[in-house]
Amino acid sequence: MANVNKLFNQGKNSPMQVLADAGGKIVGKTRFQKIAYLLSEAGLLEGYDFEYHHYGPYSDDLSSSLKFASLFDELKEEERKTDWGGYYSIFSLPESEGDKIEVNQNRSKFIKPMLNISSIVLELAATAAFLAKANDNPDDFDPWEKTRELKPDKATPDRLDKAKKLYKKILSVKTPRQLPKIA
């Protein structure tokens, strides 16, 4: 059998380690992508390139890693139907694997505020961070306003407010790299 470990990132950069640091479960592909993006920007995760997609920062590498890790039973992806008509995924570690991975406490602290908040709010926060980083003139640019322009259906005043509060929380965690100071 070929060495299938080459199909997905390993060790501290593996999707399984992110899951372990998140307490063993992450609900939603969008949530997984945005957590991984903010971890990467904070210098807590390596090996994934992110681009701007319809749902904000997105990594093809992460999507592929999740697909292969699930295919070879390193993690579980369960699909469920939503009440709005679509399907969403729940990622978790197999019971046999969960205890084998040592949790990184700093990453765990960073991820925690992103686990139980609305995925829409998390998407807005990650999008604002992405736009702030991509813009050359940070002083003349309001990433939250731009987020509102790009996502008029999602960026209600209430959600934007929650997104800023969320962002403030994760900014307060000490990380190897400083996230854009936009909240």
Which residues lie near other proteins (CB under 8 A)?
1-4, 6-7, 27-31, 52-55, 68, 71-72, 80, 82-89, 118-120, 123, 150-154
SS3 label, residue 91: strand
- Compare residues 30 and 175 and give the one whose CB is closer to other proteins: 30
CB-based contact 107:46 (threshold 8 Å): no
Q: How far is the CB of 171 from other proteins (least distance, A)?
A: 23
In our burial notation (b when 16+ CB lie closer than 10 A, e otherwise), range 89-114 reads: bebbbeeebeeebeebeebeebbebb
Q: How far is the CB of 118 from other proteins (least distance, A)?
A: 6
- Structure token pair of residue 146: 């731009």
- Compare residues 139 and 153 and give the one whose CB is closer to other proteins: 153
- Compare residues 95 and 153 and give the one whose CB is closer to other proteins: 153
Q: How far is the CB of 105 from other proteins (least distance, A)?
A: 26
Q: How far is the CB of 93 from other proteins (least distance, A)?
A: 19
- Compare residues 83 and 140 and give the one whose CB is closer to other proteins: 83
C-alpha–C-alpha distance, residues 148 and 8, integer Å: 34
CB burial class (10 A; 0-12, 13-18, 19+) of residue 81? exposed
- Structure token pair of residue 126: 């990650």
- Compare residues 82 and 137 and give the one whose CB is closer to other proteins: 82
C-alpha–C-alpha distance, residues 47 and 29, integer Å: 18
**3-state SS record for 31-65:** HHHHHHHHHHHCCCCCCCCCEEECCEEECHHHHHH
- Compare residues 107 and 151 and give the one whose CB is closer to other proteins: 151
Q: How far is the CB of 157 from other proteins (least distance, A)?
A: 15
Q: How far is the CB of 147 from other proteins (least distance, A)?
A: 11
